[in-house]
Amino acid sequence: MWLVFTPAPFVISRIAELIGAPVSNNAIVLATVLFAALFFLPAARGWGHRLQYVTWNRAGLALATVYLVAAAYAHHQALERIQKIAAEENIEVQSFAALPFPPSLWHWDGLIHAPRGVYEVRMDLSESLFSNSATSGDPSSSSAIVHTYYPEAPTNSFTEKARTLPEVQKFFWFARFPVTRFHKEGSEAVVEFLDVRFPQIRRDRAPSFEYRVRLSADGEVLSQGWVKK
């Protein structure tokens, strides 16, 4: 069982790297050591067999509780970081959130919805926690923070037409951090709607949650649907 579970941290780290939430080498080593302890320590002198099932269940519940408490604390720290950045940058906040990048407890994606667009702040709390900038109380000076701005396209007749479509209205009912994009391709107008909660995994791929409407010069809908490539 140890041989089966040992590759798991490496597989998870590879998946996390592909989606833009890399796991540190220290976390991989720690996970491997924990798996080894989980499978080998109970076999020492057979003491694991002497424990009742209820004891193992209580231990699992205790570990799960510790994880939830740690996740809640990290979420609180990430929200505080977002609020401080919004205050320092004088951003008119309509809504904000801190979303986790599992499996790491330290990687968080902070989002701020403002009238003119959405601000994204990717944070590594483990680095900022031990850095000099963390002790100075200035979160924006930490090298562990990456800012990205998604501007909202100015309103025009094409974007207004696209917003009246039933499918687009369903999109806005679901989206928490929506952004509207607009550009022209020849005589055709292209309106794109995306929710920044679902980040772009790779540069050669479209975001995971993007709806596109193509209109003619006179405002007729030529095509609409989810972007797949």
> Could you tell me the residue range of the domain that residue 27 belongs to?
2-72
84, 99: one domain: yes
Given 20, 51, 72, the domain boundary residue is 72
88, 119: one domain: yes
* Residues 181 and 191: beta-carbon distance below 8 Å: yes
85-138 pLDDT, tens digit each: 888 888 889 999 999 877 678 888 899 999 999 999 888 887 765 554 444 445
63, 89: one domain: no
Given 72, 94, 118, the domain boundary residue is 72
Count the domains in the chain: 3
CA distances from 130 to 126, 134, 140, 211, 225 (A): 7, 7, 15, 41, 46
Q: What is the DSSP string of 198-212?
A: S--SSTTS--SSEEE
215-226 pLDDT, tens digit each: 999 989 999 999
Question: Structure pTM?
Answer: 0.72
Given 123, 151, 179, the domain boundary residue is 151
What CA–CA distance (Å, rounded) separates 108 from 99? 6
